Amino acid sequence: MTGEPLYQQLIQEWITLIQNGVIVEGERMPSVRKACKMHKVSPSTILMAYRALEDRGYIEARPQSGFYVKKPAAALPLPRMRRQSVASPSGEVVDTIEAVMTAQAMEGYIDLSLASPRGSDFYPTTRFKHTLNRLVRQHPELATDYPFPPGSERLRRQIAQRTVSWGCVLSADDILITNGCTEALQLALRAVCKHGDTVGLESPTYFALLPLFKSLGLSTIEIPTHPDTGMSLDALEMLLSEKRLNAIVAMPTVHNPLGSTMPLDAKKRLARLVNDYRIPLIEDAPHADLFYGASPPDAVKAFDTDGWVLLCSSYSKTLAPGFRIGWLAAGRYRSDVMRLKFASSLAQPRLLEETLADYLETGGYDHHLRLLRRHYKEQIDRLRGFVATHFPGGTGATAPSGGCLLWVELPGGADTLEMFRILLAERITVVPGVMYSARGRYRNCLRLSGCYPWTDAYQRALLRVAELARRS
Amino acid sequence: MTGEPLYQQLIQEWITLIQNGVIVEGERMPSVRKACKMHKVSPSTILMAYRALEDRGYIEARPQSGFYVKKPAAALPLPRMRRQSVASPSGEVVDTIEAVMTAQAMEGYIDLSLASPRGSDFYPTTRFKHTLNRLVRQHPELATDYPFPPGSERLRRQIAQRTVSWGCVLSADDILITNGCTEALQLALRAVCKHGDTVGLESPTYFALLPLFKSLGLSTIEIPTHPDTGMSLDALEMLLSEKRLNAIVAMPTVHNPLGSTMPLDAKKRLARLVNDYRIPLIEDAPHADLFYGASPPDAVKAFDTDGWVLLCSSYSKTLAPGFRIGWLAAGRYRSDVMRLKFASSLAQPRLLEETLADYLETGGYDHHLRLLRRHYKEQIDRLRGFVATHFPGGTGATAPSGGCLLWVELPGGADTLEMFRILLAERITVVPGVMYSARGRYRNCLRLSGCYPWTDAYQRALLRVAELARRS
């Protein structure tokens, strides 16, 4: 047991103090040393709690001085994560996914659902254009030779080097290039699970995982997940000790849809648990590079002693959604996933792999990420402000640690699936909460995307969502 | 029951007559009308038999005149398809696949294994280069927007139109773009089968299918397959009537590795069988456009009345191996495969889809195919001649109806897995026969590729294979 519950308790306590005006705007927070003594915890716990408050806009760090209270961008309570057990057949979830997907692919919709903006303005398109032109001229065989797994060595080397910023020590040989993070997850699941197995996952979880579990004949157990600190490790440990899980899927850094990031101690504990119990953990991290902090936090994989963590990510949320390039560092399952990739889809187009590798080699990705993070942070703050102002009283929302997604919890009897249908008919797409649970939970929740420019059309669409929310 | 056995009997009879000099070079074959009377079969059976003899180089058609005996390019008997039941654990097959795959991906090997040549000379690379440059300049969003299934409508329309030459009537909506034919097969299998099901397949079959069956928890029954006419439909019908199959996978047009193409009547019968028994047939056709005839024969899908045939193919063997673009027309499983694609790997890069669509729209593919077919036909004739001359007596080889692959059956006790290991150490790759059967059959067989230019290095490698074959 670590101080996980205490850490959350501390954060909640301070938020209450700030929200109730006990500690006021501009006031200095207790020094770390003082707070340690007060709460009888380690300096690192205090620091992490302060960082979490900072990420959520309650306090700010001033160099050489300490942490000061600032006016929160929007005084929204966190979702209470009530688990409404509305009966919702999984067929309904799958149908909804299909409706969202169809709408996302169509023109003329106001999209509040995608986790990645349309249009080329957000990405280094000009660089890609030049590199593509040069590569296809100098190496036409990139377009014609049969590619084989594990994919471009040059790209794998770049990916391995970049995982250093996540605290990992990986080599090019550890990496398999996949068709986006989606295929990385699919291959990882097929490598570690057999038909009839049970997988532990966060609740809510990434919706595309649910039909995947179903198609592979896997059962799931949904583990309570805190909107700030992620999966409850106490609940997980209980399941592990009862031998009820064959594998775990988690998004410990910038969770989709919650935007939560597990504290470092929790990540260490999670790595220890899966290594002790010898249970594979699929660490799904496509949004991790969009963590708002100056540098992304360590991955669980960073603390993986015996190769039980399979780390999945991609460049689809950060750099080149159209390239369909993801990757998988599968630890002890390395050769299993290679074989599965060979038999399941062979490999990705070399030309695009080399274009991406070229971009990563010559730098610029970090600068690009900084701009994207800042942009998303601003958008999310604005979106939270909008929700606080226009949504009905009793609405909760996440305070994401990164990315461009906001999880909104409406009061009691709201039915976001019904809202989704009304909005779809008006050519507006949101993602209803039921899609994030195999059990049909979260019927009063929805995911909004803040990745788009704050245009009039976007605001009008948001106002319409708010109007329906107030009516429900 | 159709005339299938009679048809084969006829072909075999005529080959014997020609090989024994009863009908000599330059002599005219009986007219179709006369042969009908002699053998009491329909004109179409006689015509098909003559076409088969023509494809195998025994006779030639002269316009307005009839069929004449020509000296066969190489008087090689067909493989007898002995089914050696050498115990070979499936792990060995998987390891071998991995060794072949690793070697194929490496530089400096003399490759006699790949079904698609390296290097850009065989493909319209210049056209691709110009189109890629233009598209990325005019539509940079193709490189950055998130793609969704079913993939580019423009490409799907082209694919649907081209299937007319296979006798199919499909629309763009029937087509799902996949990561090569490999993923089309994978999705089709996952859509039609559940864990524990049994799949009927040809023996030998495409080797990458075997680990796929294993990973999906599927059992297989290997159905006797004739090197000229394909899967035995009598055997298949027996299995179907005994309700022992949940699905079938077959390569009715230009089989890999045999190069066989089912006669049209057999294809009709196969379509009737799967529709009558309501059992899905996955029709795997990546080599079909490489059929040596002037136009490709009808697919089984052409006779599919109720949507039980799932047709898979790609452009990897004919046009753009580096693009990783395949497709799947899944009939009644259309929405199932869409959902699986969404959850398993989402979609393919739009930029490459549009580049391919552009090429297909503006024509040139048919001309390109004619050149490729002629080239492969010449190479295969040459390869058959080489085998007839240099391999030990008692060696058999297929007479492919298309493609660039030759299946060679060595006498009795030969062990091509051992040969493969020796050759691999000498940096030569062939594909050993055991890889084509889950039961470890075909240990005395190997697949040679005729897709490469007939260079000195290529010939030296072939001579080395022949030397090992004579020694075994």
Nearest to B141 among A120, A179, A342 (CB): A120
pLDDT at A392: 93
Tokens of A343: 């038999």
CA A350/CA A152 separation, integer angstroms: 6
Tokens of A178: 């996949």
CA B75/CA B385 separation, integer angstroms: 8
Estimate the crossing angle of helix B416-425 against helix B456-471, to 10 degrees: 140
Tokens of B231: 């899967």
CA B117/CA A46 separation, integer angstroms: 62
Q: Top-level CATH class of A125-363?
A: alpha beta
Strand partners, A221: A200
Q: CATH 3.90.1150.10 spans which residues of chain A?
A: 90-121+367-471
Give the CA distances from residue A7 to residues A41, A160, A270, in Å, rounded to whole numbers and listed in that order: 9, 32, 16
pLDDT at A30: 87
A170-206 tens-digit pLDDT? 999 999 999 999 999 999 999 999 999 999 999 999 9
A68-106 tens-digit pLDDT? 887 655 568 888 776 544 333 456 666 777 777 777 767
Residue (of A307, A295, A296, A284) closest to A178 by Cα position: A284
pLDDT at A24: 77
**What's the number of CA atoms in the CB half-sphere (13 Å) around residue A441?**
20
CA A18/CA A59 separation, integer angstroms: 9
CA B178/CA B313 separation, integer angstroms: 9
Taking the CA of residue B449 and the nearest CA in chain A, the distance in Å comes to 15
CA B9/CA B16 separation, integer angstroms: 11
Establish if B212 touches chain A: CB-CB under 8 angstroms: yes
Give the containing element (helix H, strand E) for B59. Answer: strand B59-62
Mean of pLDDT values over B11-29: 77
Cα B34 from chain centre = 34
Residue (of B356, B339, B359) closest to B152 by Cα position: B356
Mean of pLDDT values over A431-456: 90
Strand partners, B408: B397, B446
Nearest to A133 among B128, B133, B320 (CB): B133
Nearest to A347 among B94, B122, B324 (CB): B324
Q: Answer with the residue of higher pLDDT: B344 or B413.
A: B344
A179 to B322: CB separation less than 8 angstroms, yes or no: no
Q: Answer with the residue of higher pLDDT: A17 or A372.
A: A372
How many CB pairs lie under 8 A apart between chains A and B?
224
Amino acid at A141: E
Taking the CA of residue A285 and the nearest CA in chain B, the distance in Å comes to 16
Tokens of B410: 């060595």
Pairing of strands A326-329, B281-284: unpaired
pLDDT at A71: 63
A120 to B144: CB separation less than 8 angstroms, yes or no: yes
Residue (of A320, A319, A337) closest to A328 by Cα position: A337
Mean of pLDDT values over B265-270: 97
B91-132 tens-digit pLDDT? 666 677 777 777 776 778 888 988 888 776 788 988 999 999
Residue (of B440, B311, B459, B317) closest to B379 by Cα position: B459
CA A465/CA A452 separation, integer angstroms: 16
Mean of pLDDT values over B6-13: 78
Q: Indicate the DSSP class of residue B73.
A: S
Give the sheet arrangement for strand B230-231, strand by strand: B175-178, B326-329, B309-314, B281-284, B247-250, B198-203, B219-226, B230-231
**What's the number of CA atoms in the CB half-sphere (13 Å) around residue B94?**
18
Tokens of A169: 């020590």
Q: Top-level CATH class of B90-121+367-471?
A: alpha beta
Mutate to test the interface with A, among B90, B121, B137, B146 (most CBs of A within 10 A): B146
Strand partners, A224: A203
Inter-residue contact A329 to A170 (CB < 8 Å): yes
A126-163 tens-digit pLDDT? 899 999 999 999 998 888 888 999 999 999 999 999 99
3-state secondary structure A149-208: CCCCHHHHHHHHHHHHHHCCCCCHHHEEEECHHHHHHHHHHHHHCCCCCEEEEEECCCCC
A42-74 tens-digit pLDDT? 888 888 888 878 777 788 888 778 888 876 555
Is the CATH number of domain A4-69 3.40.50.11540?
Answer: no
Q: Kindly report the average pLDDT of chain B as a whole number.
A: 89
Cα B89 from chain centre = 26
Cβ atoms within 10 Å, residue A39: 18
Mean of pLDDT values over B347-366: 95
CA B366/CA A424 separation, integer angstroms: 44
pLDDT at B90: 56
Taking the CA of residue A322 and the nearest CA in chain B, the distance in Å comes to 4
**What's the number of CA atoms in the CB half-sphere (13 Å) around residue A230?**
27
Residue B88 reports pLDDT greater than 50: no
Establish if A324 touches chain B: CB-CB under 8 angstroms: yes
Give the CA distances from residue A341 to residues A337, B9, B194, B208, B248, in Å, rounded to whole numbers and listed in that order: 6, 43, 20, 10, 23
Whether the bond between B211 and the residue before it is cis, its omega within 30 degrees of 0, is no
b/e code A21-35 from CB counts within 10 Å (16+ = b) = eebeeeeebbebeeb
Nearest to B120 among A141, A194, A346 (CB): A141
Q: CATH 1.10.10.10 spans which residues of chain A?
A: 4-69
